[in-house]
Amino acid sequence: MRICVYCASSERINRKYFEATERFALECVKSNVEVVYGGGSSGLMGRLADVILANGGKIKGIMPKFMNDVEWAHKLVADMEFTESMHERKAKFLVDVDGVVTLPGGTGTLEEFLEVFTLKRLGQFSKPIIVLNTDGYYDPLKVVLQRCVEEEFMLDRHMEMCTFVQQPEEVIPAIRLAGDWNEDALRFARLT
Ligand code: AMP
């Protein structure tokens, strides 16, 4: 299995987020899951890569060239791909992945999550999207999505496009359980 992981670049966040990321990274290694991520060395991105590499797992970074120029790339990630733009990077994140995981993060992570969520709604992406809601960090995001449903900006069924889990160990089982967004659902998403 190969998954794309979106997560924070900030170093200043609470250690509970680093601990959850470490546990998630170990689960990926244990389950022989290859991770594709933003290629960074800081924050949760850095910790994710450090733990995967230290335990013999597989990780690939995809980063725009300008970030490499300012030395944001993780020096130990051998499999690195550099793109011309942020847009190209985001498109490459989703090639041949079996699922997308959103760990806690800031605006960059939120933007990446909302893009893939929207792509799925429009039938352009069919794989599971999992949100790791460490200590309720993403409760407000869930509220915003539910508000979209209440006010009829999307249908209740669109909430099925992503799964919120509380513990890092729940992420990979949630990907397996969610399965692909099937053809009926794609038609449904496009029509509404
Ligand atoms: P955020 O969740 O706001 O920390 O954003 C994470 C995303 O922001 C990454 O996928 C990158 O697009 C970008 N980013 C911001 N700072 C860095 C950094 N120091 N190294 C790598 N990527 C970064």
What's the confidence (pLDDT) of residue 191? Answer: 57
Q: Identify the three-state secondary structure at position 10.
A: coil
What's the confidence (pLDDT) of residue 130? Answer: 98
Asked whether residue 185 carries a pLDDT value surpassing 80, the answer given is no
Distance (Å) from CA 44 to ligand 1 centroid: 10
Q: Which two tokens stand for residue 22?
A: 């470490």
Domains assigned to the chain: 2-189 (3.40.50.450)
Q: How far apart are CA 30 and CA 8, in angstroms?
A: 23
Q: Which two tokens stand for residue 29?
A: 């290694």
Asked whether residue 190 carries a pLDDT value surpassing 90, the answer given is no
What's the confidence (pLDDT) of residue 180? Answer: 87
* Digit-coded pLDDT (tens) for 64-117: 999 999 999 999 999 999 999 999 999 999 999 999 999 999 999 999 999 999
Q: Identify the three-state secondary structure at position 22.
A: helix
Asked whether residue 192 carries a pLDDT value surpassing 60, the answer given is no
Beta bridge mates, 62: 81
Q: Which two tokens stand for residue 143?
A: 């509220």
Cβ of residue 106 lying under 6 Å from some atom of ligand 1:
yes
Cβ of residue 46 lying under 6 Å from some atom of ligand 1:
no
What confidence tier does 189 reach under pLDDT thresholds 50, 70, 90? low
User: Residue 182: CA atoms inside 13 Å, Cβ hemisphere, count?
Assistant: 3
Calculate mean pLDDT across residues 21-43: 98
Altogether, the residues listed in the chain come to a count of 192
State which ligand 1 atom lies nearest to the alpha carbon of 10. Answer: 4
Q: How far apart are CA 37 and CA 179, in angstroms?
A: 21
Instruction: Using the structure block, give the residue that is written with the tokens 């244990």.
Output: 30
Q: How far apart are CA 125 and CA 91, in angstroms?
A: 11
| C-alpha 27: how far from chain center | 15
Q: How far apart are CA 5 and CA 129, in angstroms?
A: 10
Cβ of residue 61 lying under 6 Å from some atom of ligand 1:
no
Higher pLDDT among residues 189 and 128, named by residue = 128
Q: Alpha-carbon Rg of the chain, whole angstroms?
A: 16
* Digit-coded pLDDT (tens) for 116-164: 999 999 989 999 999 999 999 999 999 999 999 999 999 999 999 999 9
| pTM, rounded to two decimals | 0.95
| Residue whose CA is at the smallest distance from ligand 1 atom 6 | 108
